[in-house]
Copies of this chain bind each other. A is one copy, B any other.
Amino acid sequence: MSKIDRRALIAVAGLALAAPELGHAQESGKPQDAAAPKPEAKGVTHTLARYVVNARFEDLPETVRREATRTFLNWVGVAIGGSHHETLDVAVSALAPFSGPPQAGLFGRTERFDIMNAAFLNGVSSHIFDYDDTHLKTVIHPAGPVASAILAYAEMHPVSGRDFLNALVLGIETECRIGNAVYPNHYDIGWHITGTAGVFGAAAAAGKLMGLTEQQMVFALGLAASQPVGLRESFGSMNKSFNPGRAAANGLFAAILAAKGFTSSDGMIEAKRGWANTVSTKQDYREITEGLGTRYESLLNTYKPFACGIVMHPAIDAAIQLRDEQHLKPDQIARVDLKVHPLVLELTGKTAPQFGLEGKFSIFHAVAVALVEGAAGEKQFSDRAVRDPVVVALREKVVPVVTPGIAAAQVDMTVTLKDGRTLHRRIEHAIGSVERPMTDAALERKFTDLADGVLPEAQARRVMALCWSLETLGDAADVTRAGVAQA
């Protein structure tokens, strides 16, 4: 046939049709323009991969290294704290028969698993109390997926503290920047963003430690894009802490395959049919590609001083400040008036909690227990605490009133004493916020409190010391070895 004929035929092929009954032909061929949801961006995955592959520890600002170390210490503490919760007991017993060689340990426990199962289990443990770190811009809990994956890997393939810290920072950058690109739409649709963006962070950090090439890293991110984890609908069940754990394991799985030559497509984050267009109605790729190596999302990470939703933190902060400054005793208090943002009562309006977990959704209990015990850790949200007669009596005197002009980050508290005196405290930003970060000493108290009952105090202090000195450790996995329970 002549070239003319042939050109004519190819021209005809330009047509795009909707042909659902030929879906399979679509599946093995190229997608149809008719169904294209978004214009295509270029090179986003490659740009991110190039940065992760080339970024050096020496290039990290001291502030970033410092914050990442605090992030790591806080994460180890919550992983130890959750290690004997029923959620983890169930997961450990379910997975034990299928585990590979005992390559990595579990914080606070004696069992050892292959690194993918260990990454899953430590990731679950660290989110059980919902007390881990938070990147408030995206509500991602950054450490869980990333640290769980690379610490397990580090036990099998020794990694220096410097390389570990660098990988931790790069993993956090990867997941938070990808989260920024699709938040809030992606979260509003129903995705648990910690599990969906976290897979990328785990793959990037693990791939960094494995020394992937740029192309391998692109494929690792592509395999990560193929394995998002978690729906918000599961909140309130064990499935919530499942998500960061599975994200850690999936990211590690992606990096392990890519390191051996398993391929994906080149633009899985940004392509027309890529991750961002598939899981979100918003895509701002500049959040991923701009300021790499100069702007660090890890500097925006925060740590909860109180074991409950951030909405109650300003009131708890005010209560503890007044209690400690005035040496308040519960029987001195006649009434506690609170001016609050509407979300406080929408999310934590439970007046008479019967169980510890319900206490996390009761502003009445939270303020009362903070005034009685001067703290709001996991112990203050136990069945014991919500049933303590002194706390129960005091919570009946807590009167939160939704007040126009009070922002979500604020609270205005007035404590009226039986002797007629009134004490006032207004909070603009609660302790634990970006504006008023927890001190290192407060992070240590939180860690000690979480480890109490799981590890001997001396051992807990040893683990903390190793976390603080992460940057100088010859072998980052010393932290895990120090943090497991003695058989």
Residues of A within 8 A of B (CB): 1, 5-6, 9-10, 12-17, 19-31, 35, 37, 87, 90-91, 93-95, 97-101, 103, 114-116, 130, 134, 136, 138-139, 183-184, 187-192, 195, 219, 222-223, 225-239, 242-243, 246, 256-257, 259-265, 267-268, 271-275, 277-278, 308-311, 341-343, 345-349, 351, 360-361, 396-397, 399-402, 408-409
Contact = CB atoms under 8 A, between A and B. Distances in A.
B239 A278 contact: no
Contact of A139 (B23, B219, B237, B348): B23
B20 A184 contact: yes
A24 B134 contact: yes
Given A190-B273, A233-B271, A256-B94, A24 B263 contact: no
A27 B342 contact: no
Contacts of A115: 98
Q: Sorted from nearest, which 6 A-B pairs have the closest CB atoms?
A: A13-B345, A23-B139, A29-B347, A190-B278, A25-B311, A94-B260
A328 B10 CA distance: 28
B265 A239 contact: yes
B275 A351 contact: no
A22 B311 contact: yes
B190 A234 contact: no
Given A28-B130, A138-B23, A238-B264, A397 B1 contact: yes
A236 B267 CA distance: 13
B227 A23 contact: no
Copies of this chain per assembly: 2
Contacts of A13: 342, 345-346, 349, 402
A222 B13 CA distance: 43
Contacts of A237: 219, 222, 263-265
A171 B91 CA distance: 24
Nearest to A403: B12
Contact of A257 (B25, B90, B351): B90
A243 B226 contact: yes
Given A6-B351, A260-B93, A308 B28 contact: yes
B273 A231 contact: yes
20 contacts: A10-B349, A12-B342, A12-B345, A15-B346, A17-B346, A20-B183, A27-B192, A28-B130, A28-B308, A28-B309, A28-B310, A29-B311, A31-B232, A87-B262, A93-B260, A94-B262, A98-B115, A100-B100, A227-B246, A233-B275
Contacts of A31: 190, 232
A88 to B, nearest CB: 10
A243 B183 CA distance: 26
Contacts of A264: 234, 237-239, 242
Contacts of A397: 1
A219 to B, nearest CB: 8
A9 B345 contact: yes
A227 B227 contact: yes
A208 to B, nearest CB: 17
A101 B101 CA distance: 9
Among A100, A226, A246, A345, which residue has the most Cβ atoms of chain B within 10 A? Answer: A226
B139 A278 contact: no
A189 B360 contact: no
A128 to B, nearest CB: 12
Contacts of A91: 257, 260, 262
A458 B192 CA distance: 51
Nearest to A236: B265
A310 B257 CA distance: 30
